[in-house]
Amino acid sequence: MPRPRRRLASTCIGTVTAGLLATGAALAEPDEDRYPGSDIAMGAYLDYGPPGVARIPNLSNWLGGKEIRVGHTYLPGDRWAGIEGNVGFLEDWARWRRAQDDRLFVLNVPMQERNEGRVPDHQVARLIRAGAQGEFDRHFQRLAERLVALGVPDTVIVLGWEMNGITYTHRCAPDPENWKVYWKRIVTAMRAVPGQEFRFDFAPNRGKDAIGWTECYPGDDVVDIIGMDSYDQGPGRNFDEQISQPYGLQQHVDFAEAHGKAISYPEWGLFRRGDNPEYVRRMLKWIELHKPLYHTITDYCPHGVWQCKQNPESTKVFREALSAEVPGPVVPTPVVPTPVVPTPVVPTPVVPTPAVPTPAVPTPAVPTPAVPTPNVPTPAVPTPQVPTPAVPTPEIPTPEVPTPSEAPSPQVPAPSQAPSPEVPRPTPVTPAPVTPSPLVPTPEVPAPATPSPAVPSPAVPSPEAPEPTPVPSPEPVPSRPQPQPQPLPEPAKPPLNPKEWCVPLSFGEWLSKLVGKQSVCVKVDLSKDSGFWPF
C-alpha cells in the first residue's frame, strides 16, 4: 500500500495540538472546528452490500467533495459459509477497493457461527476450546483464499469485534485464555495463505463491559491495529468521562502506544443520548488529535448523521467539520504596468571578411580509351555499285550512245522477233537459294540498303541474240515488265560454277574478344542459267 497522502494543513493542526497538550490543555477545544485537511482515512458504514458501495460517492458529495477512503462492511455470522466469504457482495467491495491505491477495505469477521444467536456462556466456552484446538481453522483459511483471489489481500480484518461484551457468540469472557489461543490459530491460518497482506484489528468496546478488554489481548505478534468501538452511551456521563474512565479512550491510546500499534475507531456514533452535537464535535476533535489509522461512523439510525434524519444538530456539526473547504473568491492582482525603457541600438561594425582565393587544383584529364566501334551495318566489303549494275556485260557501253537525231527509235524486240528462247520468260534469272536477291550478286550484309531485285533488265539481249541494237538512253528501263509477286518457282539445279568469297572483319583486339572472329561471305553464281554468264 502506498503511504497516505500528507497535507500541510494537517501537519500544522497536529503541531498546535501538541503544544496544547504540553501546557495541560489536552481537552480544550481548538479555535477552529473544521478538519477538512486531515489525512486520516475516513469512512462510514452505509450498508453491508452493494448499496453501501453505491452510497459512498453520495456521501462524498454531501461533504463537499471530501474523499471517502474507507469502505466498511461485515460478514454474516449465522453460518460458516458466510464466515468463509461465500457471499456475492464481497466482489463489489473488492472492485471499489482496487479502483484506488490509497483506499482501505475494512471487513468485520465473526469467530463463530450463530454469532448473534444468544448462545449461553457454557456453550460459548465449549466453542472457544474447540477453536483453540484448531477445529475451525479451515473456515478462516478459505476466507483468506477468497480475499486473495478477489484482489484484496491487504484487507483490514476486524476479528471478533467487541469481544469484551455480552452480545456475540465470539465473546471472550467465558474462557479468556483459550479465546486468545483461538485468535492466534485464526491469524496463523490466514497468514499461511500465499499472497496475503492482511492486518488484524483488535477492537473492543469502550469501557470494561463484561471483562476488561486488556485481559483478552492475544499478543503483539498476532495484532497489527488496536481499535475501539465508542458510542455516545455509558459508562461515562459526558465525553470527558468517556476519555478518563477505566478502559476508556485515554487508556486505549496509551495501551496502543505501549505496544507500538496504530489505533482505529471502526465504529462510533450517537446512541443513548439522542441528538448530541457536543459528542460529535468532541469525538471529531479527539480523532484529529490522536491520528488513528482510520475511523468510520455508523451511519444509520439512531447512530448516524447523513442517512439518519433524527439527529439534525449533530448532522450540522459533522458536515461543517469534515466538508472540504470551498475556495473563496479569487481577488485579481492589480497589474502594474512596467515602463518600457528603450534599449539603445548600438550598430555593430561590419568587419569585411578577406577573400581568400581558393587555389585552382587542376583536374587531371583521364584519357578514355578509344574503343574502335566497327561499322557493323555497313562493313567495307568489295560490293559492286548497286545503282549501276544494270548492264551485265561491259561490252554494251551505255554512255556512248549516238545522238537522238542519228539513233533510230528505241524498239523493244517483240517476243516473235527475239530468236532467243530465254526472252519470253518474265524472270530470266533463277534466284539462288542462299542469296536474298535472285538477280544481283549482292553480299549478305544486314544493311537495309540491299540491291533491288529489279536491277537486271530483260531488255538486255543474251549472248545468243542477233546483233545488239544500240540503246540510245536508259529510258526503256521503266517500260520493261515489272515482276509481280507470285510463288517462287521450283528451285533450279545447283549452279555449275558456284563461288564464294569471304572477307574477315577486324574489330580490334578488345571488341574481338567480346564478339569473336567474324567474316562476311559473298556467293556469286556465274553459271549459264544465271543470266550473268558473259562469255
Bridge partners, residue 306, by sequence: none
CA distance 110 to 117: 12
Asked whether the whole model's pTM tops 0.85, one would answer no
Q: How confident is the model at residue 319, as a pLDDT?
A: 97
CA distance 123 to 381: 136
- The residue ranges of the chain whose pLDDT is under 70 are 1-38, 325-503, 505-507, 510, 512, 515, 517, 520, 522-535
Q: How confident is the model at residue 298, as a pLDDT?
A: 98
Q: How confident is the model at residue 499, as a pLDDT?
A: 61
Q: How confident is the model at residue 367, as a pLDDT?
A: 52
Q: Which is nearest to 187 in space by CA: 109, 113, 114?
A: 109
Cβ within 8 Å of residue 470, ≥6 positions away: 401, 402, 407
Q: How confident is the model at residue 69, as a pLDDT?
A: 98
Residue 392 burial (CB count, 10 A):
20
DSSP letters for 429-474: SPPPTTSS-SSS-----S-S-PPPTT-S-TTSPPTTSSSPPPP--S
Hey, where are the domains in the chain?
8-322, 496-535
Degrees, nearest 5: CA angle 477-479-485: 95
Bridge partners, residue 311, by sequence: none
Are 190 and 140 within 8 A, CB to CB? yes
Q: Are strands 498-505 and 518-525 parallel, antiparallel or unpaired?
A: antiparallel
Four-point Cα dihedral 354, 355, 356, 357, nearest 10: -160
Are 205 and 249 within 8 A, CB to CB? no
- CATH for 8-322 (3.20.20.80, 3.90.550.10, 2.60.40.10, 3.20.20.150): 3.20.20.80
Are 259 and 219 within 8 A, CB to CB? no
Q: How confident is the model at residue 302, as a pLDDT?
A: 97
pLDDT one-digit tens code per residue, 464-505: 444 444 444 444 444 444 445 455 555 555 454 456 666 676
